[in-house]
Amino acid sequence: MHLMPAPRIIPGLVCLVLGGTLLGNNPTLEWNASTGGVVYSSPAVATDGTVYVGSNDNKLHAFNPDGTTKWTFTAGNWIDSTPAIGADGTVYVGSWDNKVYALNPSDGSKLWDFNTSSSVIAGPAVGSDGRIYVGSKDYFFYALDSSGAKLWEYFAGQPISSSAAIGRDGTVYFGDENGTFHAVNPDGTEKWTYLVDDVADTNKSILSSPSLDLSGNVYFGSGNGYCYSIADNETNASLNWKLQTGDRVDASPVLGLSNEAFFVSRDGYLRSIDTITGIANWETLIGDVFYSSPAVDSSGRVYVVAYTGGGSNHLFAFDSNGTKAWDTNGTNPPFTIGGLVDSSLALDSNGTLYFGSYDNKLYAVGVGTGVADSDWPQFRRDTTRTGAWPSLNVTTDAFPTASGSSTGAGQYNQGATVTLQATPEIGYAFANWSSGGSVLSSANPFEFNASSDLSVTANFTLQSYAFTISANSGGTVPTGLSQSYSHGSVVPISATPSTGYAFSSWSGAGITDLNAKDTNVTITGIQSAVASFVPINYVLNATAGSGGFVNSASGTYPYDTNVSIVATPDPGYAFASWTQSGNGISSPSSASTNVHIDGNQSVQANFSPLSYDLNLTAVAGGTVSNTPAGTSHSFGSQVTLVATPDSGFYFTGWTGPGLADANASTTTLTISGDHSVQAGFAQIPFGSFVLQLTANPGNSASGLSGGGAYPANQVVQISATPIAGYVFQNWTGGNV
């Protein structure tokens, strides 16, 4: 049995125990499988238990979970690159033949290859978006899509053997062989670079793959003998701490459970370093380690492989305090590792540890405890070797359906910040986020760190809005409809016009038909509906009976209008009253009054003639009479006057106004006021005859001269003067 040298005691270390005795649970060899060449490549384990590893026989080997061969793929040269397994199971690996391959996991057939200009030793990294990132010895770092097409290339300026790691925000980290550590944005632009220290008599190349934690710190080793922790500050990197070892640090660091990083270096030591202070918790001498990275299980135990000379290859287990739990080269070793191990350890969730060896074999060792749930517990973080935070699915939906939408769902690396933003549909308000019936947050946007697959529901509530209904003058509406309604409610509304009014229209938003008195309103916000009414127009016909006239009041008027009407009698007439078809006249007995319009109306002004006195007299020699009889007569009426001479007298004419024929003994008088009319008589001289002159028509002459009593055979000059509008025509009668 090969015994370890005496322990190195470091002041302040928590614990250091070294020895050659096998302690704790012993490991068991589950199986080993042979390849045709040295296995530098680190194994990758798929979710179905298939194990993939490259070999210097130019092949990528796929082994079933029991160690039997599933298939092999032959490249053009060695495969030292560690394979990576994509989300769909596709296997990606590089080769010394300058190519990157994508292989079908079911049969190993080539899906595509991508040519670089030099060997590809670094293992590909696979992002949650399916992109493949890999560096080459040709100084370039490449980003490929899932079909193998080049998305971009980044010139590092030096060969790249470091397998990249992908940060939570998509930043890609790797080192080059001249001591520059690169951070590259997802679009291929440089984010920042960090140059490690120059140390005399060392090569400062960075061959290790970086480890990342959720705080944004990056851990890696360098050929200058330092272990580094740097912080990504977005625009630059700053040193958290560095710890110097005694030789190159080419193996990749891993992170334990309690703020500890494990580094192995070529000086033969395994170190537990506090990730906050950069001070070693403990260190133990294990032997020479070239490139193989440790692995940490869920108890905090760390596993590491080392070579102590003389063909002795050890698999060690150390508890979290630095106490050695066991060594496969201790007393009664359970199995022998037949060659050096540069292959980094892969620990699955079932407690099986996988690694390759210079003896051309792949080993599967049962250690009884699965991998730790730390930020970066093994090389490339997990057994799929993607070098990325686990791809987690965040899905969203909305409740109720179609009540809103959200953004932010998708695939995220573990620990990445997820921002969900909910947008309600019109009529809804965001309430909260929930998952599995439990409320997660009422914040919008909602930010959290992805830790597992998560289905999130954006919950929305239906909005209620105040609705008011009212009416302008001229009608009514059902005021009980004024209340709150849920968005989308359809509310029937109606308007009832008052007497004399007609519905005009609605005003307001969301009303189906603005011109229908019975309609609906759809509630989409705070709304109001106002009904408007217009007075009905009615016809007023104002006329006058005989004897007067009315003002021009006839026309069309709105309901409830008061129209002034005035009756004016003609001369000789007096206003009597109004007659109407309705009852709108306020004072029917007044010549000047108002008509209240409450419908179509006809009104008439009535007039009555005035009565005048007739004083009819006669001089001596005759009598007079009138028809109709009496002394009072209406204006405009005609009274027949008759003058009758006594015996021996003759009629000489009438005196007074308004007579149709003042020379005719029977004539008419048109009443136009008070009249005094007298009939004249004269005694007939003895032996004389009476010449009586009349006009036909009776009022056609303004003067007749020559009438009277004359002796027989006397020639009498007679004359007639016509009134305006008449001309004399002739005389009729005897002896003219």
Dihedral Cα 265, 268, 274, 277, nearest 10 deg: -70
Are 42 and 28 within 8 A, CB to CB?
Answer: no
pLDDT in tens, 519-551: 999 999 999 999 999 999 999 999 999 989 999
Q: Please name the amino acid found at residue 668.
A: T
Residues whose CB falls within 8 Å of the CB of residue 158, separated by 6 or more in sequence, listed in order: 139, 176, 177, 178, 180
Q: Which residues of 236-266 are buried (b: 16+ CB within 10 A; e: fewer)?
A: ebeebbbbebebbbbbbbbbbbeebbbbbbb
Under-50 pLDDT residues of the chain: 1-24
Closest CA to 123 of 220, 40, 219, 227: 40
Q: Give yes or no for a contact between 179 and 204, defined as CB atoms under 8 angstroms apart.
A: yes
How far apart are the C-alpha atoms of 639 and 631, rounded to whole Å? 10
Residue 253 DSSP code: P
pTM for this prediction = 0.62
pLDDT at residue 17, rounded to an integer: 32
Q: How many residues in total does the chain contain?
A: 736
CA distances from 226 to 203, 245, 282, 629 (A): 11, 6, 16, 155
- Helix-strand-coil percent breakdown of the chain, rounded to 5? 0, 50, 50
- CA distances (Å), origin 721, targets 121, 605, 658, 724, 734: 153, 43, 18, 10, 20
Write the CA distances from 585 to 498, 511, 539, 541, integer angstroms.
22, 42, 14, 13
Type of residue at 644 = T
Q: DSSP assignment of 445-486, as one string?
A: SEEEE--S-EEEEEEEEE-EEEEEEEE-TTEE--GGG-EEEE
Long-range contacts, 534-539 (Cβ 8 Å, 24+): 534/474, 534/501, 534/502, 534/504, 534/558, 535/474, 535/500, 535/501, 535/502, 535/559, 535/560, 535/561, 536/500, 536/501, 536/502, 538/597, 538/598, 538/599, 538/600, 538/601, 539/600, 539/601
Q: What residues does 449 pair with on adjacent strands?
A: 417
Quick one: three-class SS letters along 398-436?
EECCCCEEEECCEEEECCCEEEEEEEECCCEEEEEEEEC
Tell me if 156 sits within 8 A of 182, measured CB to CB: yes
Q: Report whether 423 contacts 404 (CB < 8 A).
A: yes
Q: What is the pLDDT of residue 10?
A: 40
- The answer to whether 430 and 444 have CB atoms below 8 angstroms apart is yes
pLDDT for the residue numbered 201: 80
Instruction: Classify the C-alpha dihedral 167-170-171-174 as positive or negative.
Output: positive
CA 54 – CA 43 distance, rounded (Å): 8
DSSP-assigned letter for residue 585 = B
For residue 568, the model assigns a pLDDT of 95
Spatial contact of 290 and 342, defined as CB atoms under 8 Å apart: yes
The count of C-alpha atoms lying within 13 angstroms of the C-alpha of 218, restricted to the half-sphere facing its C-beta, is 31
Cβ–Cβ under 8 Å, residues 475 and 496: yes
* CATH no., domain 28-366: 2.130.10.10
Per-residue pLDDT, 36: 96
Which pair of tokens denotes residue 682?
Answer: 């004269």
Residue 13 pLDDT: 36
